[in-house]
Amino acid sequence: MPLNPDTQSLTIVRPDDWHLHLRDGATMASVLPHTARQFGRAIVMPNLRPPVTTTGHAQAYRERILQALPAGLEFEPLMTIYLTDNTSANEIRRARESGIIHGVKLYPAGATTNSDAGVTDLRKCGAALEAMQECGLPLLMHGEVTDAAIDIFDREAVFIDRVLIPLRKDFPALKVVFEHITTRQAAQYVRDAAGAIGATITAHHLLYNRNEIFRGGIRPHYYCLPVLKREEHRQALVAAATSGNPRFFLGTDSAPHAKGLKEHACGCAGCYTALHALELYAEAFSAAGALDKLEGFASLHGAAFYDLPANAGSVTLERHEWEIPAELPMGETTVVPLDAGGRLGWRMAD
């Protein structure tokens, strides 16, 4: 039932972030508390330099995350490994048996930040995909083709036809997450396709269309990959996220880059949303008159897809206006949160 539009507070099962970049070292120590304050668990992306390609790397990375977690915050990092042309079936089985690895990430080589070691041709990954299908380890896909002849705004839609559909024909029982979907085509595909498939949706793709990157000048903090799309796509994503369909769940893709590397002649891709993720989603769901659908999207659907129980605790969002800070300390540098200086109408209570 839709909530009363005057609702002043909303309590939901503690949510999870099913797509997150935590980085490493001092950067990680700065950003981790933001995520751990809001979310019970997060799927941690493996695109470090060098990438997290083995179970051993993922175990060591997980230990570093737990070490950096401030006392009093409860948070469980759900680790992933980075698929390469050379990932073996044995590595996949080791990952599954470790119990700490919950997905294998596909970065098409060259598609995004730290994807150089990614897959050049999925046909080289047959043994790994076969093993994943067999042991039920999901493939988490950055779903964009890297063909320079394809317009950057079309790369996701083309990926569905060229890569995703053939892959799912060959591996019909493979569990797949189409990460950070940005188009009507992806939302429709995930809604209608047969078999085990889910999709994460970021807050920024629910809130903004591509005009935001160019409003009054070039605005690098709105540049991420996959890039923001036209308004019709944003609307399709809002419809999917607020539909109650359990295939769609929260994944912030919060991707911290130092301020100077965003405000740069060749700026990095990524939006920093870990600070205010839930509030940004609440804003998007509230604008769609669908706050009653936030709990399923943020706290229940992803856990069910990953065969995990929902979190035990809860969080409360209150109607309260506040201003997003201009920047935040991050290691030796700073990071600019998405919509810095803007105002939010919801705030997570401590």
Q: Which residues bind ligand NCD (CB under 6 A)?
A: 21, 47, 112-113, 142, 224-225, 253, 255, 269-270
Q: Which is nearer to ligand NCD, 10 or 28 (CB)?
A: 28
Q: Which is nearer to ligand NCD, 15 or 226 (CB)?
A: 226
Instruction: Tell me which of Zn ion, ligand NCD, none is bound by residue 245, counting a contact when its beta carbon lies within the kind-specific cut-off of 5 to 8 angstroms.
Output: none
**What is the nearest approach in angstroms of Zn ion to the Cβ of residue 204?**
12
Q: Which is nearer to ligand NCD, 203 or 315 (CB)?
A: 203
**What is the nearest approach in angstroms of ligand NCD to the Cβ of residue 321?**
28
Instruction: Tell me which of ligand NCD, Zn ion, none is bound by residue 113, counting a contact when its beta carbon lies within the kind-specific cut-off of 5 to 8 angstroms.
Output: ligand NCD
**What is the nearest approach in angstroms of Zn ion to the Cβ of residue 180?**
6
Instruction: Tell me which of ligand NCD, Zn ion, none is bound by residue 315, counting a contact when its beta carbon lies within the kind-specific cut-off of 5 to 8 angstroms.
Output: none
Instruction: Tell me which of ligand NCD, Zn ion, none is bound by residue 224, counting a contact when its beta carbon lies within the kind-specific cut-off of 5 to 8 angstroms.
Output: ligand NCD
Of 147, 253, 339, 350, the catalytic one is 253
Secondary structure in 3-state letters for the chain: CCCCCCCCEEEEECCCEEEECCCCHHHHHHHHHHHHHHCCEEEECCCCCCCCCCHHHHHHHHHHHHHHCCCCCCCEEEEEEECCCCCCHHHHHHHHHHCCEEEEEECECCCCCCCCCCECCHHHHHHHHHHHHHHCCCEEECCCCCCCCCCHHHHHHHHHHHHHHHHHHHCCCCCEEECCCCCHHHHHHHHHCCCCEEEEECHHHHHCCHHHHHCCCCCHHHCCCCCCCCHHHHHHHHHHHCCCCCCEEECCCECCCCHHHHCCCCCCCCEECHHHHHHHHHHHHHHCCCHHHHHHHHHHHHHHHCCCCCCCCEEEEEEEEEECCCCEEECCEEECECCCCCEEEEEECC
Q: Which is nearer to Zn ion, 91 or 253 (CB)?
A: 253
Yes or no: say if 107 and 144 are a contact pair by the CB < 8 Å rule.
no
Instruction: Tell me which of ligand NCD, Zn ion, none is bound by residue 225, counting a contact when its beta carbon lies within the kind-specific cut-off of 5 to 8 angstroms.
Output: ligand NCD
In angstroms, the CA 218 to CA 212 distance is 9
Q: Which is nearer to ligand NCD, 270 or 296 (CB)?
A: 270
Instruction: Tell me which of Zn ion, ligand NCD, none is bound by residue 112, counting a contact when its beta carbon lies within the kind-specific cut-off of 5 to 8 angstroms.
Output: ligand NCD
Catalytic site includes residue 253: yes
Please report, as ranges, the residues that interact with Zn ion according to CB under 5 A: 253
**What is the nearest approach in angstroms of Zn ion to the Cβ of residue 344?**
22
Q: Which is nearer to ligand NCD, 84 or 112 (CB)?
A: 112
**What is the nearest approach in angstroms of Zn ion to the Cβ of residue 21?**
6
**What is the nearest approach in angstroms of ligand NCD to the Cβ of residue 197?**
19
- Give catalytic residues, as residue numbers: 253
